[in-house]
Structure formats: C-alpha cells, structure tokens
Amino acid sequence: MEATVAAIEPGRLAGTAAVPPSKSAAHRAVVCAALAAGTSHIGNVEFSQDILATLGAAQQLGAKVERGEHELTITGRGNADGFATITRPVFCNESGSTLRFILPLFSLTAQKVRFTGAGRLMQRPQEIYAQLFERQGLRFEQNEQGITIFGRLCPGTFTLPGNVSSQFISGLLFATPLMEAPSTIEVRAPFESRSYVDLTTDAMQKFGVKVSVRARKDGSATYKVAAPQHYAAADMDVEGDYSQAAFLAVLGSTVGGITITGLPSGSHQGDRVILDILKQCGAKFERSGGHVTFHRSLLKAVEIDLADCPDLGPVLIALGCFCSGTTIIRNAGRLRIKECDRIAAMQEELAKMGGTVKADGDTLTIEGCALHKPTAPLNGHNDHRIVMAMAVAALAAGQPAVIEGANAVNKSWPDFFEVIKGLGAHVTNQG
C-alpha cells in the first residue's frame, strides 16, 4: 500500500483469504540459499520491505539473485572464502531479522563492515553481539547511525541468555558451520522464542547443514554445530505465515464467516499458537487441510504467555477488547523494543476507541468492552503490526476508522488492505 492514510468502513465481512508467505521462513531460506553451493529455487515469496533487505544483504555477500513474480532463484557462494568484497554499507531497512541473521556472516569476510538501517532499527538492543565480539577482541561499534564491525568470529563455545531475541541465536547458527572448527551454542534458561530457532535449524537442514540439539528439563538447550560444513542448494516453497494469519483469525472469530487458506498443519512456526489461544477463548473454527474456517463466537478472557510468540502481541491486545472479562498477557516486555513501543502504541490507539490496556512491568491487562468509533484518527506508529491490529479492532467492532501511516504494512504484508477489501471491508486511500 502506497497511501499513508487509509479510511475503513466495516461493511458485511465474509469470504476466503490467503495469507502471505511466512516472512520468518523466507528470511531463513534466502540466507541459506545465499550460502549454498549451486542454484536454489524458492517459491511462494512475497517481496515485503524486510525480505528485500535480506535479499540485498545476500547480494552483497556475493550471491546472485533473480526475482520472479512470487519466486526467487539464488546462486550462492558455497562457503565463506567465496564471499565478495564489501564496498558499501549493508542497508537493513527496519528489519531486525536481517541485521541479526547476517551480522555474524559478514564478520566471516574479515573485512570492516558497516550496517545501516531505518526507523528504530539502530536503537534496538544488540548487546549480545557487542559482548560476543568484545570477548574475541573484535571491533563492534554501534550508534544511532549504524553498526561497524571488524574481525572474523572464531569457533568455540558461545553462551547466550535465552530471554533475549532468538535472532541472535539464529545468526550464530547460520555462521558457525562455515567456521574452521566445530562450535557449541549454550542457551541458558528460560529459553524464550525457541520455536523461531527451530525454524532456523529446519531451514539449515533443508540446505544440507546438520545441527544437533539437546534440550534440558531446566529449559536450557545446547546446539552443537560441526564445521566446516557446506550449505547445499535446495528447492522449496515458503509456507503460509501464522503471524499474519493471526489478524484474520481474530477478525474471523469476532465476525464469523472467514476462511483462511495456506496454513500448514505441521508447521513449526511459534505463532501457530494463535489457534490454541483462540480455542481457549471459545472461538469456533474447523480445519480442512491448509484451510481454517472461523465462525462468530462469544469470546471469554484468558491468560496468555507471550514469551514464545511476541509478534502476536498487538493483535492479542486487540483481541482482549472482544473477550468478556479481563485478559492477562504475561511476558510482554519485549514489545517495547520493536519497530515502536508496541505496548504504549496499543494503549494510545485503543484508548481512542474506549479500550483500556494497563501495563504492570511485563504484564498487561485488557478489559473486555464495546469499542466505539475512534475519537481521533488512529496512528500506525510506523509499525506494520500496529496498523493491522487497529484495522482488525475497527472492523471487529463494526466502526469506521481512519488510520494514519497505513503504508507501514509494506514492511511485511503490502496487500493487507486489498485482502480485507476482498472480505467486504470498504477501504479508501486518502494520501
């Protein structure tokens, strides 16, 4: 969506909608293909701003990328010795996944590399990598303009806390097979967002790299990565995205008559838990293969743990408004360090519709209520998930709304507003 302002009128909502490809899976496929010897074909790709950032980084490593309408052909460099000379800064736009996945890989070039970004990306915490580089006597400098690294990461034992972004763990996993000797990655308990690391190891194995994992009862885990290994070219289709499906699933549970297609039942995506959460809330739906049909349901408040599914935060906060009783969301603190402070943003925007979101440390409480027409235009806070969550809130409440900064959806789901138009919503662009 190019327009910065979207005006939404609810209309009669019903129909079938396909979810976009998983951004999480697509990032990982692109990285692995860029590292692989030979040519890989990746189907079912949506070229959101985040994926374009990862493709740009892959090309700077020396991979050859050819784009089709919804597909990619990537010829990788085969190993770290084949990486290209880095001649300009690596632009990661606003993609935390891009930055954290590729930073250890670029260190293997043994060159001075500068990373830049947009929005709040360079303000987001990178202490895990800063400490790791410092321990090995390597250069890591960060300011609001960018990050500069110099020096090649060496193999060994890496110990990381499990209650930080899993993207740091994934970044090390991508790089360690290309080092000259084996490495061990120790993840301390509590290990949050482990499902995202499972997506990483799944992708690596599809591209011929073996990783052994030992999970312990205390919640910690150990990953052992043999090296040197070589990524091998592979062909694959990216599965549908449960993170994005969550917006339509919440909408379908409130208004009914919506079928979502493209959701694999055997997915390892952590955000597939949205179906379990909705079921606990009393949502009625049925699955037929990759299709899930939602019926209008009387929803009740439940307690939700966000530790393994932080990207669901905004839409689950919106969901709480439509559940009778008090919804409690725990382990929500990481929402404050995303593209915006997602807790503050949802508090501010839902308040315009009569919603109440209270924060006590990392715990949120949302009172079920009848949302009214916004008293002022809603603001997307330059955050795709805030824009989509507020669109869902307005549609589910049957209220017209104006959303400023609506083009933030380009970060992950450029066709979002076209999809809800296809379900019967009236959407007009105003700028």
Amino acid 80: pLDDT:
75
Q: Which of 276, 311, 362, 383 is catalytic?
A: 311
What is the pTM for the complete model shown? 0.89
Residue 185 in any domain: the answer is no
Residue 87 in any domain: the answer is yes
259 and 392 share a domain? Answer: yes
Structure tokens at 97: 């996944």
Residue 10: helix, strand or coil by DSSP? Answer: coil
The span from the CA of 272 to the CA of 270, in Å, is 5
The span from the CA of 323 to the CA of 316, in Å, is 10
In tens, the pLDDT along 92-140 reads 999 999 999 999 999 999 999 999 999 999 999 899 999 999 999 999 9
Per the structure, how many domains does the chain have? 2
The span from the CA of 420 to the CA of 221, in Å, is 41
Using the structure block, give the residue that is written with the tokens 């083009």. 407
Residue 208 in any domain: the answer is no
9 and 48 share a domain? Answer: no
CATH code for position 57: 3.65.10.10
142 and 278 share a domain? Answer: no
Structure tokens at 160: 């990381």
Residue 337: helix, strand or coil by DSSP? Answer: helix
Give yes or no for a contact between 152 and 108, defined as CB atoms under 8 angstroms apart: yes
Report which residue type is found at 87: T
Q: Residue 266's pLDDT band (boundaries 50, 70, 90)? A: confident
141 and 254 share a domain? Answer: no
135 and 250 share a domain? Answer: no
128 and 249 share a domain? Answer: no
The span from the CA of 303 to the CA of 318, in Å, is 14
Q: Is 311 a catalytic site residue?
A: yes
Q: What domain range is 263 assigned to?
A: 5-20+240-429
Amino acid 78: pLDDT:
79
φ, ψ (nearest 5 deg) of residue 423: -90, -5
Q: Residue 323's pLDDT band (boundaries 50, 70, 90)? A: very high
103 and 10 share a domain? Answer: no
Look at strands 183-188 and 157-161 and give their pairing: parallel
Q: Does the pLDDT value for residue 423 go beyond 70?
A: yes
% of the chain with per-residue pLDDT over 70: 99
In tens, the pLDDT along 136-149 reads 999 999 998 999 99
50 and 146 share a domain? Answer: yes
Q: Residue 431's pLDDT band (boundaries 50, 70, 90)? A: low
Q: What is the mean pLDDT of the chain?
A: 96
DSSP bridge partners of 74? 40, 65
**Mean pLDDT, residues 208-230:** 96
In tens, the pLDDT along 398-417 reads 999 999 999 999 999 999 99
Residue 206 in any domain: the answer is no
Q: Residue 79's pLDDT band (boundaries 50, 70, 90)? A: confident
Q: Does the pLDDT value for residue 2 go beyond 70?
A: no
Residue 389 in any domain: the answer is yes
% of the chain with per-residue pLDDT over 90: 93
337 and 398 share a domain? Answer: yes
Look at strands 291-295 and 357-360 and give their pairing: unpaired
Q: Which residue has the higher pLDDT, 81 or 198?
A: 198
Q: Which residue has the higher pLDDT, 429 or 186?
A: 186
318 and 422 share a domain? Answer: yes
The span from the CA of 15 to the CA of 178, in Å, is 47
The span from the CA of 197 to the CA of 215, in Å, is 12
Residue 215 in any domain: the answer is no
Residue 234 in any domain: the answer is no
281 and 385 share a domain? Answer: yes
In tens, the pLDDT along 245-261 reads 999 999 999 999 999 99
Give yes or no for a contact between 109 and 65, defined as CB atoms under 8 angstroms apart: no
Q: Does the pLDDT value for residue 262 go beyond 70?
A: yes
**Mean pLDDT, residues 272-293:** 97
The span from the CA of 181 to the CA of 77, in Å, is 20
The span from the CA of 140 to the CA of 135, in Å, is 11
88 and 13 share a domain? Answer: no
